[in-house]
Amino acid sequence: MPIPIRVAACHVSSIFLSAKKTTQKAIGLIEQAAARRANLVVFPETFIPAFPVWSAIRPPTANHDLFTRMAIESIYADGEEIQDIRAAAKEFNVMVSLGFSEKVGFSSATLFNSNLFISGQGEVVIHHRKLVPTFFEKLTWAPGDGHGLRVAETPFGKIGSLICGENTNPLARYALMAQGEQIHISTWPAIWPTRLDPSRDGKDATGPTTSRGANYDNVAANRTRAAGHCFEAKCFGVLCCGVLGKDSIKEISGGSAHLRRVLEDSQRGATMFLDPTGAQLTGFTVNNETQTQTPTPFLQDVEGILYADINVEDCVEGKQYHDVVGGYQRLDVFDFKVNRTRRCPATFVSQDDAKTVQD
């Protein structure tokens, strides 16, 4: 019998391009959420050390310094920062889903948009690299692989995650559904501008969608994708977005009043919860002084932690109608395969290796 779970979605900003300071902030948030009886703490896309939104609004030739800093401040999946967060997860007995920009030992500048799922014992259960960086993200990150297309088996249910635009990929989503996913985490950046003259349309998370020719309405797009997945999988959804800090705006704009306005006026992403029908599930925030809970449908313009209490038993009923990996699927017609091989740039075979094989 699954245990009810309290999820804490951290709607927060990075300390811009500072892996150390952002890690310290993450640990503080883990401790705070654990004190409020959270079982799972979720952080946004590439929370450590930042999301490279500069590639959306500045030409590549103007971003060499920022990319260099991004490469330096990105972290290893087994590095000091991750070790500290794993230790915090174990100390406070909470699971952690962490978005980070990952660097690797085989290159000084190849980066991946990655996410770790860490157990309450501090063990890495899932290490996922975003399959395909989206649009301008290709200027920062390399394509990942299928190694992390897994769900975590927990006492609270089966938990999976995809990063931002991956939630548009029906095959990636189906790979998680086919493993019985019951809670789906989707992580998103603070803003995702597509034009240098952002429209104010759709600024509020409950407002209208943007008109044609206006800036991309990432709130509507994120909610639509996540809701579709929840309805198809009959699972709960956790949408966790970042917040664009004043330090990020100052450094990315580089003194340009126009770029500052672009960053300030771009629509903020919204952090929210969805139920297994895809409908919005009202969460709650906790007052730091009084500890009182306030029902809150979403967080958008200000930092905070949004909580929700979930029981995956509520995922069962909808499976009667459409179980797209079971009774509502034609396994004799469709044959779906997923390659989970972790890709590396080369396979080296030495003479000693050859002798060992022959012997």
pLDDT tens-digit readout, 175-200: 999 999 999 999 999 999 988 875 55
Q: What percent of the chain has pLDDT over 70?
A: 94
Nearest C-alpha neighbor of 151 from the set 325, 309, 35, 6: 325
The amino acid at 139: L
Instruction: List, in order of start, the domains of the chain with CATH numbers.
Output: 5-321 (3.60.110.10)
Give dist(CA 285, CA 290) in Å, integer.
12
pTM of the model: 0.93
Please report the pLDDT score of residue 101 as a whole number.
98
- Averaged pLDDT of the chain: 94
Q: What percent of the chain has pLDDT over 90?
A: 87
- Whether the Cβ atoms of residue 295 and residue 282 lie closer than 8 Å to each other: yes
SS3 string, 346-357, reads: CCCCCHHHHHHH
Query: What local confidence, expressed as pLDDT, does residue 209 receive?
Result: 47
Question: What is the C-alpha end-to-end distance of the chain, expressed in Å?
Answer: 52
Q: What average pLDDT does this structure show over 212-234?
A: 91
- Flag whether pLDDT at 221 surpasses 90: yes
Could you tell me how many residues make up the chain?
359
Helix (H/G/I), strand (E/B), else coil: 294: strand
Q: How far is residue 49 CA from its own chain's centroid?
A: 13
pLDDT value for 210: 45
Q: How far apart are CA 314 and CA 276, in angstroms?
A: 7
What is the C-alpha separation between 162 and 176, in angstroms, rounded? 9
pLDDT of residue 288: 86
Q: 268 near 37, Cβ under 8 Å?
A: no
What is the per-residue pLDDT across 278-322, written as a single tens digit (0 to 9) for each? 999 999 999 988 999 999 999 999 999 999 999 999 999 999 999
Instruction: Report how many helices (DSSP H) and strands (DSSP E) the chain contains, helices first.
Output: 10, 14
pLDDT of the residue at 195: 86
- DSSP for 54-119? HHHHS-GGG-HHHHHHHHHH-B-TTSHHHHHHHHHHHHHT-EEEEEEEEE-TT-SS-EEEEEEEE-
pLDDT value at 323 more than 90: yes
In the block, residue with structure tokens 């008109």: 211
- pLDDT, residue 206, reads 55
pLDDT average, residue stretch 52-61: 97
CA–CA gap between residue 277 and residue 326 (Å, rounded): 18
pLDDT at 201: 46
Q: What is the pLDDT of residue 2?
A: 78
| Rounded Cα gap, residues 103 and 80, in angstroms | 13
Predicted pLDDT at 352: 75
Q: Which structure tokens are listed for 289?
A: 């002084």
**Residue pLDDT, tens place only, 235-271:** 999 999 999 999 999 999 999 999 999 999 999 999 9
Q: CA-to-CA distance for 151 and 181, rounded, in angstroms?
A: 6
- Sign of the Cα torsion 220, 225, 228, 233 reads negative
Distances (CA, A) of 219 to 124, 184, 209: 30, 17, 9
